[in-house]
Chains A and B, each alone.
Chain A
Amino acid sequence: MYQFDYQRPETLDEAVALLKEDCKLLAGGQTLLPTMKQRLAQPEALVDLGAIDSLRGVCPDDDKLAIGAMTTHAEVASKADIPALACLAAGIGDPQVRNRGTIGGSVANNDPAADYPAALLGLNAQVTTNKRVINADDFFVDLFETALEENEIIINVTFPRPQAAAYVKFDNPASRYAIVGVFVAKTGSGVRVAVTGAGPCVFRHKGLETALNNNFSAQAIEGVSVSAAGLNSDIHASADYRANLIKVLTKRAVAQIGG
């Protein structure tokens, strides 16, 4: 690690005021600190969001669920009353990671193999920042790239309640991130199928969505062709194999929901 300054503000306003160039927000540190230890990141200063109570907690409502950016994966796993979301959080990393890592950090980082982006996109969530509200469809831009501007702070993520939803993940055997993860949700505006791990950035699969909107059943997926074009290929899985997994996991998610 290189030398850096460290600040731990107690309010959001203080945090915003402290942000300057070459400054990084620190949430659970599960992604940021390893990169700093490997000297791949060299922020001048860290602004730790850990003391800002208003960023933490799970707030259920009749038609939605708001989760503070600093809420850990473990808290979401035990408190979120959207079962597919709780189950997704419970499957992230290991107990240490789940008790440090946060939803805000995960979403801001937008790792192509991370789990949360699939939930946000699948459930049509909204990301509230200190500046604006961003729809999930607009939030995840590209590999490790989001709509967040420099020093924009995520305050919470709001998930509309689905009629039914399921997340099925195929673990990378080594890292246990997703080689492919598929989040299927039946929502007021139709079926949404969000795929993480397979491409450079989480995406919705329109072909699968159309098929499931016509007929919400595992058989309906049989006829859909899932193209390997543009999917990731690495030492763990080829694009072809990932394309296959998208289909298989979608079927399994649909079956879980009872389609």
Chain B
Amino acid sequence: MGTQTGIGASVKRKEDKRFIIGKGRYLDDISRPGQTYGYFIRSPHAHAKITSLDSTAALKAPGVVAVLTGPDMQADGIGPLICGWGITSKDGTPHKAPAHPALAIGRVRYVGHQVALVVAETLQQARDAAELVEIEYEELDHVIEVGDALAAGAPQIHDDVPGNLSFDWELGDRGKTDAAIGSAHHVTRMKLRNNRLIPNAMEPRAALGDYDSGTDEITLYTTSQNPHVHRLVLSAFNGVAPEHKLRVIAPDVGGGFGSKIFIYSEETVCAWATKKLNRPVKWTAERSESFLSDAHGRDHETFAEMAFDANGKILGLKVSTKANVGCYLSTFASAVPTYLYGTLLSGQYTIPAIYCEVQAGFTNTAPVDAYRGAGRPEATYVVERMIEIGAREMGIDPAEIRKRNFIAPDAYPYETPVIMTYDSGNYALAMDKALEAIDYNGFVSRKAQSQAKGKLRGIGFSAFIEACGIAPSAAVGSLGAGVGLWESAQVRFNPTGSVTVFTGSHSHGQGHETTFAQIISDQLGVPIDQVEISHGDTGKVPFGMGTYGSRSLAVGGSAIMKAIDKIVEKSKKIAAHTLEASVEDIEHAGGIFKVAGTDKQMTMAEIAFSAYVPHNYPADVEPGMDETAFYDPLNFTFPAGTHIAEVEIDPDTGTTEILDWVAVDDFGNVINPMIVEGQVHGGIAQGIGQALLENCVYDKESGQLLTGSYMDYCMPRADDLPTFRVQTINTPCTTNPLGVKGCGEAGAISAPAALMNAITNALGKEIDMPATPEKVWRAAQGL
């Protein structure tokens, strides 16, 4: 419609006012009458037997209500945490997912492992009493790195998982790929390390269980990206309460980046404890608990081989990865290094043969699961580093080699050898725009200028692709998902013409309240301030799957479109009746229903009113204007684009300065360009964090987390970042009604490869992430 609040307008975010004036309502802002406070006692050891646990003294301490342990939960029949995605190994056996009790039973497997919950009248009292709980441990050997864990003779983390191997999975055609490599003109071989990250959402995880003994209902307030999935799992698997007696509310949530998808120990315990104690129980993570126990991200050790013909055309790609999944399989941990990784290894290229194998190994570290991009950053890193290194080795320009391999714009739908079917794209266009924006031709002279100052200048590319909008339920079901991945929407007109939209997706920073309102405003002509978006409460919203995988707009937005279709269909009947015309003659555009060829018309508001005050109303139409739709996508969406980074390195100190960053992304149609640009900025910032600054380090000797605070874990700050120059191109997605592709993860997926390609281009040498000053200095000095 092209109004100032419709699709394509950079509407200021409706939600920001409450955040800016301090009226956001985050979990710790919520308190319930009679509330108690929980404090988790955590393992100080990487791996140990719990030989005794004595809470006698703690129970006598002031204000203490209870000390709860794993055996208590087990006695109450509370089931272990689950992994919701089944992976099948090469030999046909299912993945091994050892039982993961929410509170440890008999053994602890990482530093930070939840051992017991102390509940008291105040947090201070709970903390004080926690020191009185006497726990004796017998330390066991531990293992931190996945390579070590999978090697012969490694300490056994689970008795029922020999060799610490959860699964050994493969995808693609091994024989064909080996043949391609065997007969190639050139083969690039590289070991690549995808460093382990800690998510660091601004709001730490928190949970507040509140049992109502009158209704026998538990309300769990929790920092969740998918409250219905929380409710389903807590009900069906953990047995905390039947689904209709459990309400999960995720209020304003301050960032997730994937880390709040999962069903963790802490909220499971709070949901159980509130009923057991008949008191509300609240827990809010301290930042150090977040570092220790939020699911970490990435952590791959990979060996890759990319085969080329003499012209730089890729003939095959073979990838062998060891993925560290931590000490248990977290909720979606098994999907991340497999179907969210191997399936993207074709990148933007026509590669005739691809083979990927992944061994997932348990270690004595926090569980590893999806983190912004989830598998796709790891895939892009492999593909984009390999093609760049291949280009260097063969003396081909890195932009040119990519162009020679791009899937052509007329080749869609394009089926890759790794089971994806790309619906649309225009990779060369994004590349050309990016080359122009960065002034690629001027790079040589800019490099010379840097050289004159004693600095090393480099330029690096990343032509990334991702599979977003997850996902068709049938597709993911066939790949092992335990859930469907559709989305719900309910569009409710109030009698006075304002609208409340209930969405099963969840905003924790993405701006749903604005973007979704723009869709309603655009399609139904409702002023944007008359549209309210409601999400995050299983007591209000139809069952939905939540927000992750850049899916909210592509799937949740499409569900809203489907509900809008139903609203329009019904409205046409009412308009036809009222205007005494036939339904076929009613034309609708932007909330105006017109009898074709006449000036007779009704507005959406008039129709909504008549639906609630049906004095003159068609007999075969139900009163009310409130439609619900469920949308299951036809395919993933495939956002893609080119990022180019330009850096300057000080060889004396190894400091990297990012001088320029151009991103040209194809997100299909764009609803709110300002929000999209913000998402890209944030994503690139996280990608730069991974490539330059962030690194989760456990001490191999002691198993302690060395990067357990901001003193040692380096998050990117504004002054680490360049001014981003972001553009979009808009090849509409062909498989959803909005033509959108999703933009939430692109930056984090693309940026690490672009930056590492730039840094290694400057150095003339390969190094692994993160490119810390010392590592860069050593490479620059030839040490």
Contact = CB atoms under 8 A, between A and B. Distances in A.
B712 A174 contact: yes
Interface in B127-156: 127-128
A38 to B, nearest CB: 8
Interface string B443-477: 00000000000000000000000000000000000
A216 interface: no
Contacts of B773: 170, 173, 237, 241
Contact of B710 (A2, A38, A175, A248): A175
Contacts of B713: 174
Interface string B696-716: 010000000011001111110
Interface string A164-184: 000000100111010000000
A170 B652 CA distance: 12
A241 B774 contact: yes
A93 to B, nearest CB: 12
Determine chain A's interface SS by DSSP, over half rule: loop
B652 A237 contact: no
B475 to A, nearest CB: 41
Given A173-B714, A174-B713, A245-B653, A235 B777 contact: no
A214 interface: no
Nearest to A251: B652
A91 B695 CA distance: 25
A236 B697 CA distance: 11
Interface residues of B, number: 25
A175 B712 contact: yes
A244 B777 contact: yes
Contacts of B772: 173, 236
Contacts of B774: 236-238, 241
Contacts of A177: 711
B59 to A, nearest CB: 20
A187 to B, nearest CB: 27
Nearest to A37: B286
A152 B159 CA distance: 57
Contacts of A1: 124
Contact of B653 (A39, A235, A236, A248): A248
B693 interface: yes
Interface in B698-755: 706-707, 710-715, 720
Max count, chain A CB within 10 A of own CB: residue among B713, B772, B773: B773
Given A170-B653, A241-B774, A241-B777, A235 B714 contact: no
Nearest to B720: A173
Nearest to A177: B711
Interface string A127-161: 00000000000000000000000000000000000
Contacts of B654: 241
A174 B710 contact: yes
A235 B693 contact: no
Contact of A248 (B124, B652, B695): B652
Nearest to B652: A248
A240 B697 CA distance: 21
Most-contacted residue by chain A among B288, B697, B772 (CB, 10 A): B772
Contacts of B711: 174-175, 177
B287 to A, nearest CB: 11
Nearest to B716: A173
A235 B713 CA distance: 10
Contacts of B778: 241
Contacts of B693: 173-174
Most buried by A among B654, B715, B783: B654
A175 B773 CA distance: 15
B652 A235 contact: no
B700 to A, nearest CB: 12
B710 A235 contact: no
A170 B774 CA distance: 12
Given A173-B693, A241-B774, A236 B652 contact: no
Contacts of B715: 174
Interface string B646-675: 000000111000000000000000000000
B111 to A, nearest CB: 15
A46 to B, nearest CB: 17
A145 B370 CA distance: 44
Contacts of A244: 652, 777
Contacts of A38: 288
Contacts of A245: 653
Nearest to B707: A235
Contacts of A238: 774
Contacts of A173: 693, 714, 720, 772-773
Interface in A165-211: 170, 173-175, 177
B653 A174 contact: no
Given A237-B774, A244-B777, A248-B652, A174 B697 contact: no
A235 B770 CA distance: 12
B37 to A, nearest CB: 15
Contacts of A241: 654, 773-774, 777-778
A248 B653 CA distance: 7
Contacts of B652: 244, 248
Interface in A21-60: 38-39
Q: Residue among A1, A39, A175, A236 with the most chain B CB within 10 A?
A: A236
Interface string B270-304: 00000000000000000010000000000000000
A162 to B, nearest CB: 25
Given A1-B124, A175-B710, A248-B652, 19 more contacts: A2-B128, A39-B127, A170-B653, A173-B693, A173-B720, A173-B773, A174-B693, A174-B712, A174-B714, A174-B715, A235-B695, A235-B707, A236-B712, A237-B774, A238-B774, A241-B654, A241-B777, A244-B652, A244-B777
For the complex of A and B, the 10 pairs showing the least CB-CB separation, nearest first, are: A174-B714, A175-B711, A241-B774, A173-B714, A248-B652, A235-B697, A237-B774, A174-B712, A173-B693, A235-B706
16 contacts: A2-B128, A38-B288, A39-B127, A170-B653, A170-B773, A173-B693, A173-B773, A174-B707, A235-B695, A235-B712, A237-B774, A238-B774, A241-B774, A244-B652, A245-B653, A248-B652
